[in-house]
Amino acid sequence: MAAGKAKSRFGLPAGLARSAPKRRPIRVADAIKGEIASLLLRKINDPRLLNVIITSVEVSDDLSHARVLYSFLGEVQAKDVAKGLESCKGFIRTNLARALELRHVPVLDFHLDLAGQKQAEMEQLLREIANEDGSSP
């Protein structure tokens, strides 16, 4: 019965307690972001990935999964960029294992970051409204 007891009888139940974000996943995410950006610049020669920008990386608390958000510049198709990233995922994980010296390298999930595109659309709409009103933005 003592093994199932909570630490304090006045605390919140286990699922409701809020804890501060852990520092290690944040540090690993920053290291992964920097290393992937370096790989894209120096070692990956895929023409589909020439103008890819890694915007952020989110790592799970147990360091088993990493969500990599990217955007790209130019007139490249989003499907081509996604296929290019998927094709070099194993190469990236191998190099992450060597560079970061982690026991287990997180599984990488690449997702297109739409924040930049949404911002450009909003700026265009604001410019159009300003032009209709006759004032400068």
Thinking of the domain 23-133, which architecture would CATH place it in?
2-Layer Sandwich (3.30)
Instruction: Find where tokens 């294992």 sit.
Output: 97
Chain segment 107-127, per-residue pLDDT in tens: 999 999 888 778 888 998 999
What is the spatial distance between Cα 9 and Cα 46, in angstroms, rounded to a whole number?
58
What residue ranges do the domains of the chain occupy?
A: 23-133
What is the spatial distance between Cα 29 and Cα 6, in angstroms, rounded to a whole number?
32
Q: What's the distance, CA 76 to chain centroid?
A: 20
Chain segment 23-36, per-residue pLDDT in tens: 889 999 999 999 99
Band (14; pLDDT cuts 50, 70, 90):
low
Contact assessment for residue 28 and residue 48, using Cβ atoms and an 8 Å cutoff: no
User: Which H/E stretch holds residue 70?
Assistant: strand 65-72
- What's the average model confidence in pLDDT over 53-77? 91
Q: What is the pLDDT of residue 20?
A: 61
Helix residue ranges per DSSP H, 59-137 = 78-87, 89-100, 115-133
| pTM, two decimal places | 0.72
What is the spatial distance between Cα 59 and Cα 21, in angstroms, rounded to a whole number?
11
